């Protein structure tokens, strides 16, 4: 499996965030079946793998073929007594992927959301506002899905505003969208640098002085839109809850408020008992909770970790356990 360019497969450096916390959260046991839905370079997966030998099953999903190749090589080299099942696909299709893996149920799911460091650093992928690259941003570059450049050139001003506001929480969304529409009428916007310059021009100077790179939120918004990240997360979490064995655990690492909100709401909904309207005199729904929170508040990375790995600063780890017998 290769990707456009071989930088990702040659050297895949990504420091797993809150690894000890994730291992503990999943209550790993030898011989169990676990699924890392965002395998990346297997930083987390390898950490989990060591706790499920002998005889465990580790399923690793990633939509990026380069990540899968790097992870497969790394796990292979560890020579562990387990069944490793790498699967190329989007966790929005978790049901199909797990059918392919031929497992009856899963004892623990891990989701470590977003992009990896090698994806951000890869010169051709276009995820980073700090590197000159074509405006691509697809996590699965082999897939014939829309690129960031296509979003920028085909979406109307209202839709662009909506994306920037909803997915980037960008205060200047209408202004930036207008600048994009005006600029693209003159000449195509092709590279990350062109987009960064446009965003800088659209945001008033006084608002550009704080909050890091002014294009950060625009890049986040486009990445989320290009990869359909929010819908994928909802679908993936719902499917994961169906596949979890009783007492199985689910741990999700999110890196911005939009992701965290979806995880929080999904867990809260699944942890609900009766869902009858409040005015109902007696319960008629018979609804039973299928999840219980292991930690009510999200766990955060230690100060030590945030110093060593700045990416961990924004991480929130939510953990829940399957209750009931289904």
Q: Which residues bind ligand SAM (CB under 6 A)?
A: 14, 16, 38, 40-44, 61-64, 67, 90-92, 112, 114-116, 139, 232
Closest approach of Cβ 70 to ligand SAM, in Å? 8
Between 92 and 161, CB nearer to ligand SAM: 92
Token digits of residue 56: 């465990």
Residue 323 belongs to what H/E stretch?
none
| 112 versus 136: smaller Cβ distance to ligand SAM | 112
Which of 57, 63 has the CB closer to ligand SAM?
63
Which residue's CB is nearer to ligand SAM, number 97 or number 177? 97
Q: How far is the CB of 110 from ligand SAM (least distance, A)?
A: 7
Residue 233 or 320: which CB sits closer to ligand SAM?
233
Least separation in angstroms between residue 171's CB and ligand SAM is 27
Query: What's the full length of the chain, in residues?
Result: 326
Judged by beta carbon, residue 284 or residue 302, the one nearer ligand SAM is 302
Q: What is the DSSP string of 183-217?
A: HHHHS---BHHHHHHHHHHHS-GGGGSSSS-TTHH
**What's the CA gap between 39 and 44, in Å, rounded?**
8
Q: Is 167 or 172 the residue whose CB approaches ligand SAM more closely? A: 167
Report the nearest approach of ligand SAM to the CB of residue 41 (Å): 4
Pick 116 or 161: Cβ nearer ligand SAM: 116
Q: How many CA atoms lie within 13 A of 4 on its CB side?
A: 16
Other CB atoms within 10 Å distance of the CB of residue 126: 28
- Helix, strand or coil for residue 274? coil
Give, as one character, the DSSP assignment of residue 263. H
* Nearest distance, CB of residue 161 and ligand SAM, angstroms: 25
Residues 6+ apart with CB under 8 A from 205: none
* 242: phi then psi, degrees, rounded to nearest 5: -70, -35
Place of tokens 């829309």: 146
Taking the least distance from each CB to ligand SAM, the nearer of 40 and 56 is 40
Q: From the CB of residue 31, how many other CB atoms can be counted at a distance below 10 Å?
A: 12
Task: Give Cβ neighbours of residue 73 (< 8 Å, ≥ 6 apart).
Answer: none
Which residue's structure tokens are 């839709």?
159
We find the least distance from the C-beta atom of residue 84 to ligand SAM, in angstroms, to be: 14
- Cα gap 260→256, rounded to integer Å: 6
DSSP string across 73-139: HHHHHTT-SEEEEEEES-GGGHHHHHHHHT-S-EEEEEEE-S--HHHHH-TTT---TTS--BS---S
CB of 317 to ligand SAM, least distance (A): 12
| Least distance in angstroms from the C-beta of 34 to ligand SAM | 13
Least distance in Å: CB of 183 to ligand SAM? 30
């Amino acid at each position: 499996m290769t990707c456009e360019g071989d930088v990702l497969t040659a050297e895949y450096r990504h420091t797993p965030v809150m690894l000890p916390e994730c291992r503990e959260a999943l209550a790993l046991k030898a011989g169990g079946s676990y699924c890392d839905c965002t395998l990346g370079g297997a930083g987390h997966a390898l950490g989990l793998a060591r706790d499920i030998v002998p005889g465990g099953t580790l399923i690793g999903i990633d939509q990026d073929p380069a990540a899968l190749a790097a992870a497969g090589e790394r796990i292979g080299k560890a020579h562990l007594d387990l069944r490793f099942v790498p699967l190329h696909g989007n966790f929005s299709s978790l049901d199909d992927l797990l059918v392919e893996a031929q497992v009856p149920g899963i004892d623990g799911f891990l989701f470590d959301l977003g992009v990896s460091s090698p994806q951000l650093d890869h010169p051709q992928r276009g995820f980073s506002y700090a590197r000159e690259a074509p405006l691509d941003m697809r996590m699965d570059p082999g897939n014939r899905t829309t690129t960031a450049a296509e979003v920028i050139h085909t979406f109307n001003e209202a839709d662009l505003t909506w994306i920037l506001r909803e997915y980037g929480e960008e205060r200047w969304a209408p202004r930036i969208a207008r600048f994009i529409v005006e600029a693209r009428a003159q000449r195509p916007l092709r590279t990350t640098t062109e987009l960064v310059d446009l965003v800088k021009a659209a945001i008033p100077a006084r608002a550009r002085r704080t909050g890091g790179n002014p294009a950060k939120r625009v890049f986040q918004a486009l990445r989320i839109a290009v990869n359909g990240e929010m819908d994928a997360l909802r679908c993936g979490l719902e499917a994961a809850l169906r596949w979890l064995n009783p007492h199985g655990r689910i741990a999700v690492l999110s890196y911005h408020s939009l992701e965290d909100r979806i995880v929080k709401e999904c867990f809260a909904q699944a942890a609900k008992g009766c869902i009858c309207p409040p005015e109902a005199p007696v319960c008629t729904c018979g609804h039973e909770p299928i999840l219980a929170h292991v930690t009510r508040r999200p766990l955060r990375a230690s100060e030590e970790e945030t110093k060593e790995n700045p990416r961990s600063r924004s991480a929130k780890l939510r953990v829940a356990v399957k209750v009931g017998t289904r």
